[in-house]
Amino acid sequence: MSVPDGLGYPGPVTAWKSGLRWSYRQKSTLPEPLIGYNGHVPAPLPASIPRSFADAVASVTNWGRWGPDDQIGTLNLIDEAARRRGLAAVVDASPFALGLPMSAADGIQLGFIKGRINPAHTMISVNEPQSDDPEWIAFSEDIVTFAMQCATHWDSLAHCSYGAGPAGGVLYNGWPASAISEQGASRLGIHNIRTLVSRGILLDVARAKGLELLEPGYPITVEDLDAAVAVAGIEPEPGDVVLVRTGQAAHLALPGRPGIGGADPVRDLVAYTWPTPGLTVGTASWFHQRDVAAVAIDTMVLEVYPCESADLFLPVHLLHLTEMGMTQGQNWFLDVLAEACAADGRYSFLLDATPIPFTGALGAPVNPIVLR
């Protein structure tokens, strides 16, 4: 078929239609695409979708940037140079673990998200003899049941889709939402992330505003990120992983974190969960312009919640995961790391945040390790 008039693509192409866009795949020599990467052209969105969101999609989409079969998105940006920047940031090799404890007692899920259960730990054998001699070797074994995103985790790019129409919904890079089934994700699953090691940069938005923690429901803006960059004294480069601190973990009463205002720590899971500060639609282009490889935050939702607009539910998830192909993480404990960064002024570090490679999973727990 021929490309519709006005797009600047003479010649034959193969086209397939999703609920949100036409995607043109090259079959013969064509001129350099004029719109987006690889000629992916947003189609008209339903009238109910604000124009600002459509504009955001057009400005940040990475569909086709790393080829039609790509399944890891912006993690392609982590190269030798990014890893060497991480190594160069290590001064005294002091380690920091950023994962939340995982147990039924420590769990942070309150049932707001259907099926997202806290860890349940069960012993299946206790000091069970493994030989004919009961006084010789014995083993203990256990199993754990939990939701992949119940604690500190990465979302896979298969985590969310959107759109309707004849072809159904779409995932990152135009993969059909039908790639997700009862068996899990046949495309974009978390197992595609074999390693996630790069330079990390902490952007302490709360500290940049002179606050212990941001106000509930505070919308983090581009200006807030710029202010945090100024505090850090370091600008993100392609392939870096950005960690955004809001101070929200103060509600979890975790070891190493005093209570709010110097009071005794108080565990308040409702205050931690809702309302929550977070990233806004406008910040997606900030990450895109800097070619950030991944972003993680110390909140349940990552984006501001309740959402900026009643007409758009979790739009930042769609921009990050579905349009940019940018892996995002939630529930990271950043407070102890933030104190160390503020003490010596070093806000960059080597970060190993490789998720458990559970085949076909929509996310995975991780205990991120920082070396400074």
The answer to whether the beta carbons of residues 36 and 173 sit under 8 Å apart is no
Q: What is the pLDDT of residues 329-355, one digit of tens each?
A: 999 999 999 999 999 999 999 999 999
Model confidence pLDDT, tens digit, residues 74-123: 999 999 999 999 999 999 999 999 999 999 999 999 988 888 999 999 99
pLDDT-derived band at 35, boundaries 50, 70, 90: very low
pLDDT at 55: 85
Beta bridge partners of 305: 276
Indicate the pTM of the whole model.
Answer: 0.86
Region 228-244: mean pLDDT is 98
pLDDT in tens, 295-335: 999 999 999 999 988 878 899 999 999 999 999 999 999 99
SS3 of residue 230 by DSSP:
helix
Distance CA 360, CA 349 (A): 30
Q: What residue type is 133 in one-letter code?
A: D
Say which range, 22-36, 140-154, 253-267, 347-361, has the weakest mean pLDDT: 22-36
Mean pLDDT of 49-72: 89
Nearest to 103 by CA among 136, 142, 75, 69: 142
Residues 354-367: b if buried by 16+ CB within 10 A, e if exposed: bbbebebbbbbbbb
Backbone angles phi, psi at 343, to 5 degrees: -70, -40
Per-residue model confidence as pLDDT tens digits over 17-29: 333 443 322 322 3
Average pLDDT over residues 275-281: 96
In the chain, where the domains are located: 1-44, 73-102+149-371
CATH 3.40.50.2020 fits 73-102+149-371, yes or no: no
Specify the pLDDT at position 37. 34
Collect all residues with Cβ–Cβ distance below 8 Å to 247 and sequence separation of at least 6.
206, 211, 212, 213, 214, 298, 335
- Whether 190 has a pLDDT exceeding 90, the answer reads yes
- Confidence at residue 163, expressed as pLDDT on a 0 to 100 scale: 78
Instruction: Please state the rounded mean pLDDT for residues 261-283.
Output: 93
pLDDT score at 248: 96
* 8 A C-beta contact, residue 297 and residue 154: no
Largest CA distance in the chain: 82
